[in-house]
Amino acid sequence: MSQVSQEYILEMTDIVKEFPGVRALKGVQLKVRPGTVHTLMGENGAGKSTLMKCLIGIHPPTSGKIVFGGKEVRFKTTLEALNAGISMIHQELSPVPERSVAENLWLGRAPRRGLRVDHKKMREDSIALFKKLDLDLDPDDKMGDLTVAKMQMVEIAKAVSYDSRIVIMDEPTSSLTDAEVEQLFKIIADLKAKNVAIIYISHKMDEIFRISDDITVYRDGEYIATDRAENLNVDKVIQLMVGREVTDMFPKVECPIGETILKVEHLSAGRAVKDVSFELHRGEILGFAGLVGAGRTETAETIFGMRRMTGGKLYKDGKEIHIKSPEQAIANKIALLTEDRRGNGIVGLLSIKDNTVLANLKQYGFPLNHKRIRADTEEYVKKLNTKTPTIETPIQNLSGGNQQKVLVGRWLLTDPDILIVDEPTRGIDVGAKAEIHSLITRLAGEGKAIIMISSELPEVMGMSDRIVVMHEGTMTAIVDRKDFSSELILKYATSETPYQPAEA
């Protein structure tokens, strides 16, 4: 048997993890070879993140055996795991927003001179690290000012900086652009060359097949299979994950496009959004494409009153509207499903139920009608197939993808006329993705208007009637469905020329 432990840097066997009322892991295994990328796959709630948290000492496993580097281990804290050589990039980022990038990077291990933090050295070490990893980050920036993508890059740099023998990456690319993903893949290749093992968790099939050496699939807390990536393909993996076939990824249904519901005229917000104009119609799904930094999220935030409008006008049903806060947007029946569920979205300690009705409390009268609150929550849990023991469960206990579903439910419940969704299926597994897509399509069919921001071109092209393309805050094109092609959209996404509407 000694040969087996030579072969694997990590062997987890018969791992069981019970939370009150949930058997999250029912005796699973994972065997990771050094110098490889080992990808964990499975639907939302399958147990991937939990298994990793059992490994690095966040959750004590209920039972099971962990052998790391030939020795049986049981880490009690993440610090112990780090010191032993295992670091992790978490699915839910938890930066300290008011501190600098450098301070976040060296949190708890800042270089010192005597009793004081050596800020100069900390800056220099940060710059050296960013240079080594070829990352465009500034150590002096305030963490809270960064985009989600940049925060994710800081997390990646941090995990790599520990010189670990295993680096766990739980959905590291969920908000990265293609270029940033390429950078990450370069970092991964370097780590592999140093015989570091990477445990990779992602729902993005194309990237999984590009970088994985081995793939292990879990379903409902059970181990299903491990195989070399070259022996698998997308269909086989989905079959293993779901236990059934998934069709209908982008169920576009042609529905009649009605009159204009929202007119955006010369919208500007500082330097982030420059002179954006478009019309949105009832029954329409209007996609927004572009690279990160294109200003799509910022445009959405401005319409929703989260960001100050510095120029332009908004009209709803032909009447000018003034939106200076999300409350005013909601009053105008506009809803926004945000990209960053941690920062603007979920309230971790509150229940599924409270998180579902949060944007909508007024509707339940005073005193609150708890019976209706429960009924509405149950309805959306069912509609979206959210995996949770009860609706009273704190949302932080749900898997990442299931948290996202609760947020989708929250905004649907406000019964908006205009629903803006920013990366709605990020971190969502293939089956649930298809469900959210058909839900969005159904809403359009009911005459609602949808703005859909997505960095996944197949998704935005599959779902939209038209696509607005942006580049660095400027709108560069509006493309009709009949003209969709990834080449054309990418061309506009990198174009410097502002869109010129054809004269009628």
Ligand X SMILES: Nc1ncnc2c1ncn2[C@@H]1O[C@H](COP(=O)(O)OP(=O)(O)OP(=O)(O)O)[C@@H](O)[C@H]1O
Return the range that interacts with ligand X (CB under 6 A); candidates 101-109, 257-265, 273-281, 400-408.
400-408
Return the range that interacts with ligand X (CB under 6 A); candidates 47-55, 108-116, 133-141, 343-351.
47-55
Return the range that interacts with Mg ion (CB under 5 A); candidates 92-100, 325-333, 399-407, 409-417.
399-407
When the beta carbons of 398 and 412 are compared against ligand X, the nearer one is 398
CB of 30 to Mg ion, least distance (A): 15
- Using the rule CB under 6 A, which residue among 13, 14, 22, 270 binds ligand X? 22
Packed helices 119-133 and 148-161: angle between N→C axes, nearest 10 degrees:
100
Q: Does 400 bind Mg ion (CB under 5 A)?
A: yes
Q: Does 172 bind Mg ion (CB under 5 A)?
A: no
Return the range that interacts with ligand X (CB under 6 A); candidates 44-52, 105-113, 359-367, 493-501.
44-52
3-state secondary structure string across 174-225: CCCCHHHHHHHHHHHHHHHHCCCEEEEECCCHHHHHHHCCEEEEEECCEEEE
- Using the rule CB under 6 A, which residue among 19, 162, 209, 364 binds ligand X? 19
| 441: enclosing H helix or E strand | helix 430-445
**3-state DSSP percent of the chain in helix, strand and coil, to 5:** 40, 25, 35
Site string for ligand X, 415-454 (x = CB under 6 A): --------------x-------------------------
Q: How far apart, in Å, are the Cα atoms of 414 and each of 358, 378, 418?
A: 10, 15, 10
Enumerate residues 236-265 that contact ligand X by CB under 6 A: none
Q: Does 47 bind Mg ion (CB under 5 A)?
A: no
Q: What is the Rg, in whole angstroms, of the alpha carbon atoms belonging to the chain?
A: 23
Do residues 345 and 395 make contact, with C-beta atoms less than 8 angstroms apart?
Answer: no
For 475, the token pair is 């709108």
Return the range that interacts with ligand X (CB under 6 A); candidates 40-48, 62-70, 317-325, 437-445.
40-48
When the beta carbons of 36 and 91 are compared against Mg ion, the nearer one is 91
For 372, the token pair is 């209706």
When the beta carbons of 54 and 167 are compared against ligand X, the nearer one is 54
- Using the rule CB under 5 A, which residue among 11, 12, 39, 49 binds Mg ion? 49
When the beta carbons of 46 and 335 are compared against ligand X, the nearer one is 46
Quote the strand ranges of 296-354, DSSP E: 311-316, 319-321, 334-337
| 277: enclosing H helix or E strand | strand 273-281
When the beta carbons of 332 and 351 are compared against ligand X, the nearer one is 351
Q: Does 42 bind Mg ion (CB under 5 A)?
A: no
398 binds, among Mg ion, ligand X, none (CB under 5 to 8 A by kind): ligand X
125-127-128 Cα angle (round to 5): 65
- Using the rule CB under 6 A, which residue among 100, 397, 414, 474 binds ligand X? 397
Do residues 275 and 470 make contact, with C-beta atoms less than 8 angstroms apart?
Answer: no
Residue nearest to Mg ion (CB): 49
When the beta carbons of 103 and 429 are compared against ligand X, the nearer one is 429
Site string for ligand X, 367-396 (x = CB under 6 A): --------------------x---------
Return the range that interacts with ligand X (CB under 6 A); candidates 30-38, 39-47, 348-356, 373-381.
39-47
Distance of CA 488 to the CA centre of its chain: 26
Which residues are within 8 A (CB) of 226 and not within 5 positions of it... i.e. 6 or more apart?
Answer: 29, 30, 31, 214, 215, 216, 217
298 binds, among ligand X, Mg ion, none (CB under 5 to 8 A by kind): none
Return the range that interacts with Mg ion (CB under 5 A); candidates 44-52, 156-164, 174-182, 383-391.
44-52
Q: Does 64 bind ligand X (CB under 6 A)?
A: no
| CA–CA distance, 69 with 8 (Å, rounded to integer) | 8
Q: Does 455 bind Mg ion (CB under 5 A)?
A: no
Q: Does 315 bind ligand X (CB under 6 A)?
A: no
Please give the biggest Cα pair distance in the chain.
77
Among 243, 179, 192, residue whose Cα is nearest residue 217: 243
When the beta carbons of 10 and 15 are compared against ligand X, the nearer one is 15
| 48: enclosing H helix or E strand | helix 48-55
402 binds, among Mg ion, ligand X, none (CB under 5 to 8 A by kind): ligand X
Q: Is the bond preceding 367 in cis, omega lying within 30 degrees of 0?
A: yes
Alpha helices (H) along 231-325: 234-242, 296-303
414-419-170 Cα angle (round to 5): 95
CB of 322 to ligand X, least distance (A): 39
Return the range that interacts with Mg ion (CB under 5 A); candidates 84-92, 96-104, 239-247, 443-451.
84-92
Residues in contact with ligand X by CB under 6 A are 19, 22, 24, 42, 44-50, 91, 387, 397-402, 429
